[in-house]
Structure 1
C-alpha cells in the first residue's frame, strides 16, 4: 500500500509541475478549471478536489494498475484486492507469488497437521486458479509443514505457474517426499523453461533425461535432498549454458559428478553431504569457488581445478590437515583463499610440504573433535612454509577435553626454526589459544619469523558465535542473547592458564611494530582470575 500511495503522490506532484510550466509559458487554463481550483481553496473540505482525484485514479489503465501491484509486496497486493474490483483484477495479475503458511495467514498452533494441509491446499488452489491467465514470474511454494497434501494438486499448481515468462521457481516439500514425489520435468520443456533463471528444489525426485529441454537462461540451480543421479544431472547441466552457481546438498544418488566444459559461466560449486559421491570432475574453465562438505575418497578430485577459493569440511575423515598439505597443492594450484575444518580429529602431526600454494593469501584452519594426545601445534608451520604469499592466518581450536600438558612456569627451552621465514604474513588470529607448550612455540615462532607481521590476536576462549570478533556479549548482533556462550569450569581454568602463559612467554617477544590483542573470559559474564591489560 505504501508503494501505491507513493505513486499517487508522485502523480499529483507531476500534474502540479505541469500546470506551473503552462502558466509560466503564458498558457491559461480554462475558466471552469480555474474556478474548480478556487472552489477547492475556499472549501476546507475540498470535496471537488477529492472527487476529481478519485476519478483520475479510477480512470488509470488496467496495465498501469497491474504494474503498480507488481511492485507491491504480495500480501499488500492481496489486501488491496478487498477494496475494489479494479484492485481485485490487478491482484489476479500479480506476477510474484510467495506462498507459505506465514503469507497465507496460517498459524501452526491454530490447527493440526491435517487441518494445516487442508487450509494450505484450499488457499493455494484458489490463488493459482485465479492466476491461471497470468504470466507468473516468481513462484515460491513452501509446503514443508503440510504432510498430508494431495500430490495431484501440486502437479496442477505447477502446470498453472510454469508458463513462458517464469523466472524463479522454489519448491519446498515436506521431508521424506523425495521417495513419493517426482517433479514433472516435462513442464520445463520448450518455451516454458526458456525464461527460467533460478531453480531450487527440496525433497523430491528429479529425473531429467537426454531429451530434457534447453534451459538457456538458468543461472542458479539448488538441489537439496533431491533424488537425482550423476548422469541425469549431466543431462541437465549440458543444457544450462548460462549456469553460474550450482549447489548440491544431500543428493545421495550422485556417485560421479562431472561438470562439462560448456559451463563457461559457472563460478561457484557447492557439494555438501552427498554421501555416495566418489568422483568430482570439473572442466568448467572459470570455476573460482568450490565448497566441499563430505568424505575424502581416493579419487574425490580427479584432476586439477582452477579454483581460487576452497572450503573443505570432512565430518567422517580424520587427518584432514595431512591430506590438505600433501594433496591439495597439486589439485588446486591457483588457490588464494583456503578454509579447512577438521572435525573428526587429527591423529598425526602435519608433515612438511612437498609442494607449495604459491598464490595462497588467506588460510583458515578449524580444529574440533579428538586430537591425539600431545598433538604438535608447531607442525602447522608446514602450512606457513607452503604458502610464501600468505598474508592472513586464522587458527580456531575448539576442544572439549584438554589432551596436553600445560606449559610450566620458569625458563623453558623453546624449539626454534630460524630457517622458516614468512615474509608476507601480516595478520594472525588464534582463537582458542591454550597453554600447551607447542601452542606457545607456534606463537613465538610466528613472532620471530613473520617479518611483516602487523597484528596478532590471542583469544583464550573459543566462541563459535563470535566469529566476527565483535564481542561475545555484543547485543548488536541479532542472533546474540546478550550473554556469552556457557563455559565449563575446566575451560575457565584453562583460559586462566593460557593468560599466564601469554604473559610469561609471549608478551616479551612481541616486536614494537606488532599490535598484540589478548582476550580472556568476558568480565561481564565470567570472573577470570587474571586479565592482561
Structure 2
C-alpha cells in the first residue's frame, strides 16, 4: 500500500501496479498467503503453493483471477472484497482444497461459477440467490454478514432449508425485519450453530411491529441446534416495554432439547424479547449457559465500559446516554423477570455497565457467576 499527503488533512489512498516480477524465476512458488490492497494486479500465471488469497480494492478482472486460480492447486481460501471489476468469477474443479469463499461488496459481480468440489464455507453480503455461488448442496457454513438488506432473517427461515439443506452453521445480519419469522414445516436438520445479528444502521430503532418472540419458530426449525446467538444493535427501543406483572406468552409445544448455550447481546426491556428469553429458559431442556448483555459489542471481559461525557465507544458503534438508558432498563428487566426463572442447572452470565453517572450496586447480583 502507498500513501500520499491529502490536499487538506491526513492521507489518501493511491493505487499502484503490483509488480508481478517478484514472482519470476520461481520465487513465487514459496508464497503461501497473499494479501493485496488498493492496487492493480494482473497475473499471467498461478502460484503453485498459494493457499490463501485476499484481495481488497484490487483492480483485477474475472479472467485474470481465473487464470491465477487455474494454476493455484493448493488454494484453500479465496477472499474478495470491493473488487469492482470482477463480473464473472469461475472457480475450476481442480481446486480440491478450496473450502472457504468470501465475496463482499463486489458490486459488478453477476455470477460465480463454482466447480470446486469441497467448498463448504461461504461468506457473502446478500442472498445466495442474488449472487449465485454454484452448487451449494455441500455448503455447511453460510455467513450472510456485512449486509445492507432487510428481512434476511425471514428469508433465511423461508428459503435456506431447501436451498442449503446441509447447513451446520448459519450467521445472518439484517438491517431490519418487516415481517415476523414464519412458521413453516421445512427444517434445518443439521444446523447446530445459529447467529442472528439485527443491525439498525439508520439508528432509529427497529420497527415495533417485529416480534422477537417469533424467533421461537426459527429455533423450532432446528432440531439439533446447540448454540444460539442473538445480537441486536439499535439506538433506541420502539417496542412495547415490559412493566408490572404482564401476561407472558408461552409456547410449551415448542421444545428445544439440544440447545446448550444461548447468548443475547443488546438485550433490552422489550416485552417480546423478555418473552423469548423466558421461553428458552422454560423449554431448552439441555441448556447449560445463558449469557445476557445489554450492550452489543464484542463481549470481551477486558473491554473498557467506563463512559465519560455521555459517549462510550464499543466494538460496533458509538453509544450515547439514550442507549445507556436502554441498557439500564434491560438490566432492570433481567433482575425482575429473568433471574428468578433460571434453573439451578443453568449458568447465568450477565455483563453489566460501568458509568460515573449511574450507581451500579442495585444490579450487582449475588450469584457467583456474575461478570463485571
TM class by shorter chain equals: 0.7 to 0.9
Give the structure 1 partner of residue 210 of structure 2: 375
User: What secondary structure is seen at the aligned counterpart in 2 of 1:348?
Assistant: coil
- The alpha-carbon deviation at position 376 of structure 1 amounts to 0.4
Give the structure 2 partner of residue 326 of structure 1: 158
Give the structure 1 partner of residue 256 of structure 2: 422
- The alpha-carbon deviation at position 451 of structure 1 amounts to 0.6
TM-score (norm 2): 0.83
* CA distance in 2 between partners of 1:175 and 1:294 (Å): 27
Give the structure 1 partner of residue 290 of structure 2: 456
- The alpha-carbon deviation at position 185 of structure 1 amounts to 5.0
Give the structure 1 partner of residue 62 of structure 2: 230
Which structure is richer in relative contact order (CA contacts within 8 A, separation 6 or more)? 2
Post-superposition Cα deviations, 1:425-453, rounded to whole Å, max 9, x if no partner, equal: 01111111111111011011101110101
Give the structure 1 partner of residue 269 of structure 2: 435
| Larger fraction in helix | 1
Give the structure 1 partner of residue 98 of structure 2: 266
Matched, 1:397 2:240: no
Alignment check: 8 A CA contact 2:332 2:363 kept: no
Post-superposition Cα deviations, 1:52-71, rounded to whole Å, max 9, x if no partner, equal: xxxxxxxxxxxxxxxxxxxx
* CA distance in 2 between partners of 1:355 and 1:530 (Å): 45
Matched, 1:491 2:326: no
* CA distance in 2 between partners of 1:527 and 1:472 (Å): 19
In the superposition, relative to structure 1, how do residues 386 and 526 fare at CA in structure 2: closer, same or farther (>3 Å)?
same
* CA distance in 2 between partners of 1:518 and 1:215 (Å): 49
* CA distance in 2 between partners of 1:194 and 1:285 (Å): 24
Alignment check: 8 A CA contact 1:240 1:263 kept: yes
- The alpha-carbon deviation at position 321 of structure 1 amounts to 0.9
In the superposition, relative to structure 1, how do residues 175 and 305 fare at CA in structure 2: closer, same or farther (>3 Å)?
farther
1:239-254 map, 5 Å: 239-254=71-86
* CA distance in 2 between partners of 1:455 and 1:311 (Å): 24
User: What secondary structure is seen at the aligned counterpart in 1 of 2:286?
Assistant: coil
- The alpha-carbon deviation at position 225 of structure 1 amounts to 1.1
Matched, 1:361 2:192: yes
User: What secondary structure is seen at the aligned counterpart in 1 of 2:179?
Assistant: coil
User: What secondary structure is seen at the aligned counterpart in 2 of 1:232?
Assistant: helix
Give the structure 2 partner of residue 283 of structure 1: 115
Matched, 1:447 2:281: yes
In the superposition, relative to structure 1, how do residues 245 and 296 fare at CA in structure 2: closer, same or farther (>3 Å)?
closer
Give the structure 2 partner of residue 406 of structure 1: 241
Give the structure 2 partner of residue 91 of structure 1: none
* CA distance in 1 between partners of 2:109 and 2:32 (Å): 27
* CA distance in 1 between partners of 2:4 and 2:321 (Å): 45
Alignment check: 8 A CA contact 1:430 1:458 kept: yes
After TM superposition, the structure 1 stretch with the greater mean CA deviation from structure 2, 358-367 or 348-357, is 348-357
Alignment check: 8 A CA contact 1:427 1:455 kept: yes
Alignment check: 8 A CA contact 1:345 1:368 kept: yes
In the superposition, relative to structure 1, how do residues 401 and 334 fare at CA in structure 2: closer, same or farther (>3 Å)?
same
- The alpha-carbon deviation at position 146 of structure 1 amounts to 4.9
In the superposition, relative to structure 1, how do residues 262 and 353 fare at CA in structure 2: closer, same or farther (>3 Å)?
farther
User: What secondary structure is seen at the aligned counterpart in 2 of 1:506?
Assistant: helix
State the aligned residue count: 348
TM-score (norm 1): 0.59
In the superposition, relative to structure 1, how do residues 522 and 429 fare at CA in structure 2: closer, same or farther (>3 Å)?
same
Alignment check: 8 A CA contact 2:208 2:240 kept: no
In the superposition, relative to structure 1, how do residues 520 and 184 fare at CA in structure 2: closer, same or farther (>3 Å)?
closer
- The alpha-carbon deviation at position 416 of structure 1 amounts to 1.5
- Counterpart of 1:514 (choices 323, 346, 362) is 346
- The alpha-carbon deviation at position 474 of structure 1 amounts to 8.0
Give the structure 2 partner of residue 350 of structure 1: 181
User: What secondary structure is seen at the aligned counterpart in 1 of 2:301?
Assistant: coil
* CA distance in 2 between partners of 1:251 and 1:219 (Å): 20
In the superposition, relative to structure 1, how do residues 231 and 445 fare at CA in structure 2: closer, same or farther (>3 Å)?
same
User: What secondary structure is seen at the aligned counterpart in 2 of 1:202?
Assistant: strand
In the superposition, relative to structure 1, how do residues 513 and 290 fare at CA in structure 2: closer, same or farther (>3 Å)?
same
1:34-73 map, 5 Å: none
Give the structure 1 partner of residue 38 of structure 2: 203
After TM superposition, the structure 1 stretch with the greater mean CA deviation from structure 2, 415-424 or 185-194, is 185-194
Give the structure 1 partner of residue 333 of structure 2: 501
CA RMSD of aligned residues (A): 2.9
* CA distance in 2 between partners of 1:470 and 1:280 (Å): 40
In the superposition, relative to structure 1, how do residues 497 and 277 fare at CA in structure 2: closer, same or farther (>3 Å)?
same
Alignment check: 8 A CA contact 1:247 1:270 kept: yes
1:111-150 map, 5 Å: 143-146=1-4
Alignment check: 8 A CA contact 1:353 1:383 kept: no
Alignment check: 8 A CA contact 1:194 1:214 kept: no
Alignment check: 8 A CA contact 1:282 1:305 kept: no
Post-superposition Cα deviations, 1:55-97, rounded to whole Å, max 9, x if no partner, equal: xxxxxxxxxxxxxxxxxxxxxxxxxxxxxxxxxxxxxxxxxxx
- The alpha-carbon deviation at position 200 of structure 1 amounts to 2.8
- The alpha-carbon deviation at position 339 of structure 1 amounts to 2.0
Alignment check: 8 A CA contact 1:222 1:246 kept: yes
